[in-house]
Structure 1
Amino acid sequence: MVKKQEQYDVVVCGGGLAGFCAAVSAARHGAQTCIIQDRPVFGGNSSSEVCVTPHGAAAFHAYARETGIISELLIEERARNHAPILENGWTNSVWDMTMYDMAMSTPNLSFHLNTSIVSVLKSSDRTISAVVARVANAETEITIEGKIFVDCTGDGIVADQAGCEWRWGSEGFEEFNEPHAPLKASKDTMGNSIHFRAKDMGRPVPFQAPEWAVKHEDPDYFYKQGRPFQSLHGGYWWIEIGVPWNTIYDSENIRHELTRHTLGIWDWIKNKDPEMKEKAANYALDWVGQVPGKRESRRIIGQYFMTEHDPANKTVFPDEIAFGGWFIDLHTPGGLLAPTAEPASAEGYAETSEYAIKSYCGPYGIPLRIMIAKDIDNLMMAGRNVSVTHAALGTVRVMSTTALIGQAVGTSAAIALQKGLALADLPSQAIREVKQTLLRDGCFLLNTENEDELDLARNASVTASSQAVCRGSEVNKELLQSGELGHHKEILHQRKGQWIAISEGVLNRVSVCVTNMSDTPQIVEAQIIPVDHIWDYRCEANPPIATTELHIMPGKYQWIDWDVQLSKADGLKSGSYVRLDLLANPQIAWHCGDGIVPGHTCAFEMGQGKMRRDWNGPTRSFRVDPPQYAYSPKHVINGVTRPYRYTNLWRSDTSEPLPQWLELKWEEQQSIGQIELTFPGNILWEYHGYAPFHRDPQCPKDYSLEAFVNGAWEQVLEVKGNYQRHRKHELSQQIRTDKLRIVIHATNGDPSAAVYEIRCYES
């Protein structure tokens, strides 16, 4: 056995998305960092070994996709990868290589793959000095010393061996009164899953299951117990087993049982199911996973213990450093061995059921304190092992959320080292710097805006070559000409709402395009309601500032006008949103617009006075008079980099050709050495919503930076072929200027140039 010793500032144990983002972030901020991963690839459950594609807040909330390091990775993967994303089972090794490339390209970052933690060394009761790791197939043992350790192992291996307090299973209802908690505490956890992938071969393909495969004979097991065949391509969430096995100690037993069930399920589909066997005749198994994806095991107790009430009530934390927005997704213990699958699956993923209403939450803030171990002074956690209840884990555990947590942990660790602070003191003594650093690195926080005193752009005045106005969203011309009705979700089965950005505090008229599917005149009640932001889903929290009844005659694709004559005196606020709601009438369809108007999304009432994103977050048809100047150049220095309480975007006039420019001007000359840009794109939908080789059309492709020097414009930087959302440019030499321009020469397809934020720094 070869024995080695290494020393680092930050040691990250675990190379899933949480650990990877933690390590990259710490290294980018100057900490000598090592990441230890027990598999041959990074990515954990998202890797090609497990193939669970990353989920997050954008699955339920428009414009809520996670940004920062996870965004860089996912944008890069889509730009490089030929493969479509069809839910789970479809990750390929291009994703693995995207992560590997970032690891190799990050200064200050070292890593050990195929390396497992075997023990933890402590210098005192409350301090870890090193971890001992063993490299598989290399007969090598490495003692890795560090100043700060981050447990991203999922199972909390480091925290457990260091003596930290942890929890397992479900808290009982009486402890925290959580709506999703069982009456009595339980040691049961959510289970592990494997995925499979099938391929259409274009001709009949037989399948014979081995004798040791589970033999499924009862159609009710699938059709009445919540185990639907969403796609013949594979990737079924519900191929899951936990109880009666322990998800850590019995992981190999679970893997074997999952394999037996997977082959038995495919045998049912191919050879027994009366309906599916015909559809599956040409399909062959292409891949069966053999590394189980794990949902739950140990949860390490930190400085704060987050309960279900926090995401449900959107608790505002002083140490908020990330956000989430997945629903409270708690799988049935036992999985395939339980009477039914997870509740959401058992309901067919219904959007208006009692369970769906109770479980829908966010976007909500996540505090740093759940990532700082209570019992060890130099230990942090990121991933599914953070300090939360079982119920809260249901929403926090998804990988895009844990990636944000990881980046926040890595950033916090680096700042603690720079300032010589104890980890326990970060939430009280350095939280502002942590938050501002995360924002500068492209992350988004619900309750924090850019207040960086070093950002010179904040003191500039901003102008542009042109500015788009919002007149509304017209209906697809092909639908109008064909006379066909659109998507079934256009029908007013429930209240539907459309967010409208108000620029000047005046709204004279709104119009909607609807179809009356009946033979008689219909009435629809309409309301205009002030809302706090685009995720303000409350139906009745704010009183309407205008109401009316729209009288709609039989017929298709009618534009119905409403003269609202609203002003600031009526409560209309410039620089804010209102929501135009049409209440339920199942005889009426409110049509979607032709394309998406940036920052203008829609929702429907799911029940109990709560709305949720409608369909995939399109823009419904509407017109406004006067047009709203919702895309001002000054938005690029307002400190917010996505639609939230307003559009927060500069967008050029769609009728004006490119190039278009945006200009910063100062009263005095500035010394500028670094310019940082945030562009639109890749935040409306989840990663799954984007095609192979995707480059978001809104994102500037070719652009240049120009400075006004010695009475003339001088180009200081040129970029071609861009598709990333967040770019940092260090100039070859510092410039002195009182005017700076970004000139956008081409986008990746959109007719408008657009920018969310510009930052300028001396160095």
Structure 2
Amino acid sequence: MISEAYSPQTRNTKTVKLQADLVVVGGGLSGVCAAITAARSGLKVVLIQDRPVLGGNASSEVRLWSLGATSHMGNNNRWSREGGLINEILLDNLKRNKEGNPLLFDTVLLEKVYEENNITLLLNTAVYEVEKGKDDLVKNVTAFCSQNSTTYIASAPLFCDASGDGIVAFMAGASFRMGAETKEEFDEGFAPNIEDYGNLLGHSLYFYTKDVGKPISYTPPSFAIKNAEELPRIKNFQLGDHGCKLWWVEHGGRLDTVHQSEDIKFELWKVVYGIWDYVKNSGKFPEAANLTLEWVGTIPGKRESRRFEGDFMLTQKDIVEQRDYYDAVSFGGWAMDLHPADGIYSEHNSCTQWHGKGVYSIPYRCYYSKNIENLFLAGRIISASHVAFGSSRVMLTCAHGAQAVGQAAVLCKEEGLLPKDIASKEHIAKLQLALNRNGQSIPRIALNDTDDLVAKANVEASSSLKFKGFSEADDWHPLKFGLAQMLPLKANETYSFEIEVDASEATSLELQLKSCSTPNHFTPDVVIDKKEVDLQKGKQKITFTTTKTQEQDHYSFFCLMKNEKVKVRLSDERITGLMTVENKINKAVSNYGRQDPPADINVDSFEFWTPERRPKGKNIALQMAKALPIFEPDNIKNGEVRPNANGNTNAWVAEIEDKKPTLHLKWDDKVNIKSIKLFFDCDYDHALETTLMGHPEDVIPFVVDNYTVKDASGKLLKEVKGNYQAINTIELDEAISTDALVFEFSKKERHIPVSLFKISAYN
């Protein structure tokens, strides 16, 4: 029993003081990735989250799918899904939650943090005070947990603000921006007219429905709007849509999205319950008779508030031109995606999206405050203009950059540095190397990993695929859209392609070989050669032999242009680094087959050639006159872990018939090995939305599930079974001295050969 007498003095809540190497404020995907990255390298981390679960907008409280550069597979950013830690999380979620249950995704994130002994996690804990050690240094933050009535004071030499609104950076006095810049400030043609379009993106609130199997009535609350049928965006509603497909239920861009957030939420409640009143009681949706509301969000998904200034500010031209910088540590690829401030009440389109031709780099200098010396920035608050923020704000882009923040904190701790110090060319190379070793895949950054022992090894394979085409299947694809086979082709060479088509009547078919204007993207904006072929009714084989050549090594597109009278024979074979794309429409990301923006906004015009999701998206059963040497075993030594636009698959691929593929790594002299890393093909082109959509498999079919590692004497060093991750790290109990390693892989898919991007070994 506890009993206390009356006290004339006020009582204080319990206070707990925490000391760490890094304090991360904000438990969305960005804060989670920053915290785990730092903790895995030995830093003591305090992770403070003001909600009961992790994930932020991706959590079960909001239920927004997580997306990034792949953009629902609706753009030209091939093999662009974010790598590293966030990819590990996505693959874990796929394994146990391919249907996209947001509650299960909560558990994936909680488990990831729970398993890190170096993380102290504080849920339901809101930061409300910042103490400085001096004007430009944060000393500690004070936060309160409403559930255990405890005040926490967390101190550290380094802080990361991943809070979404930038509560730490704001209270610390860091310079920030809120709202849209003028077109003139950064020469951004897409900068909005503030009076008409508005200054900020609003919040969204979702709902889920459920069929209860019998008619059910609905009486709306008194605060629900009564005129939902007059909402300009109600035309977007389709019965059965729920969750984040209702992203257009948006409000608040004319308000203060920090201090009026609760007002915005209540207005969205009015709208949601009013929409459901319209659905249930207007008589226009009789098929909704058995439906009831199963869930309505209690906190809205917030898009925009403050953006803090770093030593570099990302702008529109960085995205459109895919500019590269010496300190690139992350990348983006979502469209520049702005929303009218009036949201659900706006007469404008629900959003305005303009895509770039490829992924763009994000400099490290965007990820720390230029004023507060020990403060990192992560998530949507990084240093970017309003227009660039329209792309960089999406969750997987934010999480990917946050891994760079976590790794930078490790370097700061190891070398006694502050965040700004890492931006020097000497230190940034160390950061980039550490990130790429963990699968970050920073675009167009060539790094020489001198510690990787595999770079000095001779590599022999039991087989290597000499690609001359795909075998035929009894599967025919109608050319409702243009269809293209993507192939890595060489400069100054001609090629010959043979395919089989089936014409419903005599017609003609246009064939094209397209390539890309620069090695920075996968947008087929250059026609290399073309041919018109006359077809008779029925099945027939046709050949396209090019007479013109491309000027650079590049992924190129063998295109069969649209003709609905024609079908082409497909193959069941799927091979790492090879895929088909179509010149089709994906309205979800404002893809209407091509993009033709107004001339004055300084955005490129181009066609979209995008993939279909498995089980669709099969390769064309084409045959080539000469083999492409694109899958040689030495590819595992080049440091790349996904295909790139300059025409490299970067993969070793065994022959399809090789049922026990083997790689031998041999050194001239013995080497000491303590750790080994393998990088498998997890299909970086497939968007792994975390919620709602669902996926065809729980394991990416290209990933090798079972394999063994042996030394020169044949001693078993490691046997792996049931792998589904892209990166496997093998830590040996003791370092071994050997002049060879042998990797034996099991083939699990009949029509998919074993493949591997990279092996690394370290002492």
Asked if Structure 1 and Structure 2 have the same fold, meaning a TM-score greater than 0.5 normalized by the shorter chain, the answer is yes
Contact preservation (8 Å) 2:48, 2:126 = yes
Letter in 2 for 1:84: E
The answer to whether 1:755 aligns with 2:737 is no
Letter in 2 for 1:706: K
Q: 1:267 to 1:470 in 2, by over 3 A?
A: farther
1:85-117 CA-partner distances (Å, limit 9, x unpaired): 3xxxx522x211111111121242222111110
| Corresponding position of 1:349 | none
Q: Secondary structure at the match of 1:713?
A: coil
Alpha-carbon RMSD across the aligned residues, in angstroms, is 2.7
For the residues of structure 2 that align with 1:217 and 1:36, how far apart are their CA atoms?
39
Letter in 2 for 1:742: F
- C-alpha displacement at 1:319, in angstroms? 0.5
Contact preservation (8 Å) 2:573, 2:619 = no
Q: 1:475 to 1:747 in 2, by over 3 A?
A: closer
| Corresponding position of 2:321 | 313
| Corresponding position of 1:643 | 643
Out of 14, 32, 42, the position equivalent to 2:26 is: 14
Out of 691, 695, 705, the position equivalent to 2:695 is: 691
Letter in 2 for 1:403: A
1:486-565 → structure 2 map (5 Å cutoff): 486=478, 490-492=479-481, 497-502=484-489, 508-514=495-501, 516=503, 519-527=505-513, 529=515, 535-540=521-526, 544=528, 547-555=529-537, 558-564=540-546
Q: Secondary structure at the match of 1:174?
A: coil
Contact preservation (8 Å) 2:130, 2:168 = yes
> Which consecutive unaligned segments of at least 5 residues does structure 1 have?
345-355
1:404-447 CA-partner distances (Å, limit 9, x unpaired): 01100110111022112232121113110111101111211111
The answer to whether 1:194 aligns with 2:205 is yes
The answer to whether 1:100 aligns with 2:90 is no
Letter in 2 for 1:633: P
Out of 370, 390, 397, the position equivalent to 2:393 is: 397
| Corresponding position of 1:329 | 337
1:611-690 → structure 2 map (5 Å cutoff): 611-616=607-612, 618=617, 620-621=619-620, 622-644=622-644, 645=646, 646-657=648-659, 659-688=660-689
| Corresponding position of 2:125 | 115
Contact preservation (8 Å) 2:511, 2:532 = yes
Q: 1:675 to 1:304 in 2, by over 3 A?
A: same
Letter in 2 for 1:160: F
Identity of aligned residues (%): 29
1:424-439 → structure 2 map (5 Å cutoff): 424-428=420-424, 429-439=426-436
Contact preservation (8 Å) 1:503, 1:630 = no
1:708-732 CA-partner distances (Å, limit 9, x unpaired): 0xxx311111111111111111112
| Corresponding position of 2:99 | 84
- C-alpha displacement at 1:202, in angstroms? 4.2
Contact preservation (8 Å) 1:603, 1:611 = no
Out of 439, 443, 447, the position equivalent to 2:444 is: 447
The answer to whether 1:267 aligns with 2:263 is no
Contact preservation (8 Å) 1:705, 1:717 = yes
For the residues of structure 2 that align with 1:211 and 1:363, how far apart are their CA atoms?
48
Letter in 1 for 2:432: K
- C-alpha displacement at 1:691, in angstroms? 2.8
Contact preservation (8 Å) 1:73, 1:99 = yes
Out of 462, 472, 487, the position equivalent to 1:465 is: 462
- C-alpha displacement at 1:591, in angstroms? 6.6
1:338-395 CA-partner distances (Å, limit 9, x unpaired): 2235235xxxxxxxxxxx5x43453111111011101111111000111111111111
| Corresponding position of 1:212 | 223
| Corresponding position of 1:65 | 81
- C-alpha displacement at 1:507, in angstroms? 5.3
Contact preservation (8 Å) 2:20, 2:155 = yes
Q: Secondary structure at the match of 2:174?
A: coil
Letter in 2 for 1:106: E
Letter in 2 for 1:54: S
Q: 1:181 to 1:17 in 2, by over 3 A?
A: same
For the residues of structure 2 that align with 1:375 and 1:25, how far apart are their CA atoms?
25
Q: Secondary structure at the match of 1:701?
A: coil
For the residues of structure 1 that align with 2:150 and 2:166, how far apart are their CA atoms?
23
- C-alpha displacement at 1:290, in angstroms? 0.5
The answer to whether 1:368 aligns with 2:369 is no
| Corresponding position of 1:303 | 311
Contact preservation (8 Å) 1:498, 1:619 = no
For the residues of structure 2 that align with 1:732 and 1:558, how far apart are their CA atoms?
60
Contact preservation (8 Å) 1:242, 1:254 = yes
1:498-519 CA-partner distances (Å, limit 9, x unpaired): 32124898654212444556x5
- C-alpha displacement at 1:668, in angstroms? 1.0
Q: 1:690 to 1:607 in 2, by over 3 A?
A: same
| Corresponding position of 2:64 | 52
Q: 1:557 to 1:240 in 2, by over 3 A?
A: farther
208-217 or 130-139: which moved more? Answer: 208-217
For the residues of structure 1 that align with 2:70 and 2:110, how far apart are their CA atoms?
25
- C-alpha displacement at 1:631, in angstroms? 1.6
Q: 1:264 to 1:554 in 2, by over 3 A?
A: farther
For the residues of structure 1 that align with 2:199 and 2:491, how far apart are their CA atoms?
56
174-183 or 386-395: which moved more? Answer: 174-183
Contact preservation (8 Å) 1:600, 1:619 = no
For the residues of structure 2 that align with 1:497 and 1:78, how far apart are their CA atoms?
28
- C-alpha displacement at 1:233, in angstroms? 3.9
| Corresponding position of 2:600 | none
- C-alpha displacement at 1:748, in angstroms? 7.1
Q: Aligned residues, how many?
A: 717
Letter in 2 for 1:491: K
- C-alpha displacement at 1:325, in angstroms? 0.8
Contact preservation (8 Å) 2:233, 2:344 = no
Q: Secondary structure at the match of 2:157?
A: strand
For the residues of structure 2 that align with 1:533 and 1:281, how far apart are their CA atoms?
55
Contact preservation (8 Å) 2:513, 2:556 = no
Contact preservation (8 Å) 1:700, 1:748 = no
Contact preservation (8 Å) 1:119, 1:161 = yes
Q: 1:758 to 1:114 in 2, by over 3 A?
A: same
For the residues of structure 2 that align with 1:152 and 1:268, how far apart are their CA atoms?
39
| Corresponding position of 2:46 | 34
Out of 369, 377, 383, the position equivalent to 2:379 is: 383
Q: Secondary structure at the match of 1:550?
A: strand
| Corresponding position of 1:606 | 594
Q: 1:129 to 1:607 in 2, by over 3 A?
A: closer
| Corresponding position of 1:171 | 181
Q: Secondary structure at the match of 2:396?
A: helix
For the residues of structure 2 that align with 1:752 and 1:47, how far apart are their CA atoms?
37
> Which consecutive unaligned segments of at least 5 residues does structure 2 have?
1-12, 584-592, 597-604
Letter in 1 for 2:513: Q
389-398 or 522-531: which moved more? Answer: 522-531
448-457 or 623-632: which moved more? Answer: 623-632
TM-score (normalised: structure 2): 0.88
- C-alpha displacement at 1:208, in angstroms? 3.1
- C-alpha displacement at 1:743, in angstroms? 1.0
Q: 1:122 to 1:243 in 2, by over 3 A?
A: same
For the residues of structure 2 that align with 1:562 and 1:187, how far apart are their CA atoms?
52
Contact preservation (8 Å) 2:232, 2:344 = no
- C-alpha displacement at 1:673, in angstroms? 0.8
Letter in 1 for 2:320: A
For the residues of structure 2 that align with 1:75 and 1:534, how far apart are their CA atoms?
27
Q: 1:172 to 1:589 in 2, by over 3 A?
A: farther
For the residues of structure 1 that align with 2:115 and 2:686, how far apart are their CA atoms?
28
1:100-249 → structure 2 map (5 Å cutoff): 100-183=110-193, 188-218=199-229, 221-222=232-233, 227-229=236-238, 231-235=240-244, 236-249=246-259
1:21-46 CA-partner distances (Å, limit 9, x unpaired): 01111111222111111111111110
Q: 1:62 to 1:156 in 2, by over 3 A?
A: same
Letter in 2 for 1:242: G
For the residues of structure 1 that align with 2:562 and 2:681, how far apart are their CA atoms?
34
- C-alpha displacement at 1:497, in angstroms? 4.1
TM-score (normalised: structure 1): 0.88
Contact preservation (8 Å) 1:530, 1:579 = no
